[in-house]
Each structure stands twice: as structure tokens, then as C-alpha cells.
Structure 1
Amino acid sequence: MAWESLITDADHHHLLNQNGDIINPASAVRIGDHVWIGARAMILKGSEIADDCVVGAQSLVTGRFSENKVLIAGSPAKVVKKDILWKE
């Protein structure tokens, strides 16, 4: 995980409807094994990243990426390359 990256499972403050019900509940983040997270990437609540993936620098991950060995990049993030390999 590179510098200034953020992984968060909540919005930090609850938003309520007129009945007092929370309308922005927290949601777990799941990051697989051997995942490289680039500098200043943001991975938000409910996101999932499969094994052996790379998240590009300054990417905004807001969804589920279930395919292994992909490069995820952009804002919002999307799969930009498949069948990648990387070493430390």
C-alpha cells in the first residue's frame, strides 16, 4: 500500500432521514491477497478487490472487482487491463 492511500468502510458521519433512520450505513471493504494499492488511491465502503490485482495511483474504487489479476484505475475506477502479473 503506497503513501497517502485511504481505505474507509464508512462516511464518517451518519445521514438520517426524517424518521431518524440512517441512510448511509457502513459497509465492509474486502481486499484480496497480493494486492498493490497505488499512491493516493481511495477505496470506499462496500468495495471489493480480488487477489493479485493492482489499483492505480489516485484511483477512486467504489465497487466490486471480483476478477483476479486485473489493473483497476481511474475515477471512478474500472478494469483497464486483464491477466496482469506483478512482483515485489
Structure 2
Amino acid sequence: MPVLKEIGTKYGKSVAQVALRFLLQNGVVVIPKSTHEERMQENFNVFDFSLTDEEMKQIEALDTGESLFFSHYSPETVEWFMSIV
């Protein structure tokens, strides 16, 4: 995501750190998972910066309101799920 990368560059943070910070600033409880020690440490380093209101709006604008995986409302998806039960 270019927006997250651009914001991350401004703060010297990764895209993942910007995403975590966005969620935290929105009051979402996050439980990041990693098996890599360096990424675990990176996940903790999100409390030394804050996103501006403008940056928060830029990130919020990325939400299309659609799942990237599948639609829970699609009859075909529902039928597929029912076929595997």
C-alpha cells in the first residue's frame, strides 16, 4: 500500500507498524503474531509515534467496504461453505 509506505517513511516505520498504530489509535485491541524475533520487537515499537488526523483519514479512505477474500453475502459462497460441512 503506497499510502502506508509513505507514512511509514515519514516516521521511519514499516507498513505493518503504521497499520498497527492506526488500529491502536482507533481503539482496536491488536494481537500481532510473528515467529521472527526482529518482527516481534518491531511490533512493540508503535508507541513512539502518533498518526495525524490527516494520516488517519488517508488510511480510512483505503477501506472499500468489501472483503479481499470472499463475500459472506454471495449465494455461491454460502453454498460452497454448506457443501464442505
Task: Output the TM-score relative to the length of structure 2.
Answer: 0.23
Q: More relative contact order in 1 or in 2 (CA 8 Å, sep 6+)?
A: 2
Q: Which of the two has higher C-alpha Rg?
A: 2
